Amino acid sequence: MSLAFTAARPALASIVSDRKRVLITGASGNIGSYCAHDFAELYDLRLLVHSPEHADMARLHEFGEVVVGDITNLADIHAVCQDVDTVVHLAGEASPSAVWDDLLNANIIGTYNTYVAAMAAGCKRVIYASSIHAVSGYQTDVQVKTTDPVNPGDLYGVSKCFGEALSRYMAEQEGIAGIVLRIGAFQPHEVAQDDAGIKMLDAWVSQRDLAQMIRKCIDADNVQFAIFHAISDNRFKRLDISDARQLLGYRPVDDSTQINNRLRDLELDEHIVAHNVTDAHHESGLREDLARL
């Protein structure tokens, strides 16, 4: 675990109480719009959208200051980073099937511009939305830890590896703190409940669990750099979340096997053997000595 984070101070659990000013790039996207709603009472939000014609523009104004800009334009992103404490960088090309030209502009140049602009504007931290695709090249029976080398499963994943490397460089060499979140299959409960949810049973992250994770990253000011895996508390986990539990106090509340209608009926928690004394027919090896006392 020690290779996946750098502490800014010895303690890793302190939380500051001052209300922060947070910029969310890609605020009109699926994750961004949910977080805007969830964070509105906690932070002073600046919400960056690419186009003023987006259907949710009117609703976004309820949650914070909405600004229009292009992350591929350094001057644009620098202007919106002014007077911001933390940048939550969600903007970018999100298709795993994206081609190089689209990835170059949005995920390479746009991410670089965001970090440089945030540093120049005096922001304290950038939280970077990476993806499970940065490590999806591992075989499906491997549970990936944050300390494992990147292993992208597609060119989109390669672009996310660039952002991860840039985040660490900026945090440890240039001094602007960064947290990388490898986000799993972000879908609402309705999608996880039906047959499509079975395909993502080991990688699903619910809206409220991801929002919790991002909030904890915003508030944990004493982490200089870290990589965390952002999935829910699924019975089977493609990505290990133990360091997020330990360092952030992440407490996911959702589990794909309890949400999905077909999987819930299997009662997996009851029927899968744990191979320890929690199993119904597994007795404690201490029982004879304890009986004598």
The residue that leads in pLDDT, 261 or 118, is 118
- The pLDDT value recorded for residue 160 is 98
Which two structure tokens, joined as six digits, stand for 239?
A: 């990505």
**Rounded distance, CA 34 to CA 281, Å?**
45
Which is more confident, 266 or 102? 102
Residue 84 is predicted with a pLDDT of: 98
Look at residue 278 in the predicted model and tell me its pLDDT. 80
List of domains in the chain: 2-264 (3.40.50.720)
- The per-residue pLDDT for range 13-60, each reduced to its tens digit, is 444 447 899 999 999 999 999 999 999 999 999 999 998 776 567 789
Q: Residue 126 and residue 117: Cα distance in Å, rounded?
A: 11
Across the range 161-187, mean pLDDT stands at 97
pLDDT in the model for residue 11: 44
pLDDT at 16: 47
pLDDT bracket for residue 266 (50, 70, 90): confident
Structure tokens at 214: 């991002």
pLDDT at 1 over 50: no
Place of tokens 């991002």: 214
Average pLDDT over residues 126-148: 97
Sorting pLDDT into bands at 50, 70 and 90, what band is 280? confident
- Within a 10 A sphere around the Cβ of 26, how many other Cβ atoms? 24
Instruction: Check whether 290 has a pLDDT greater than 80.
Output: yes
Residue 151 amino acid letter:
N
pLDDT for position 222: 86
Residue with tokens 């053997």: 273
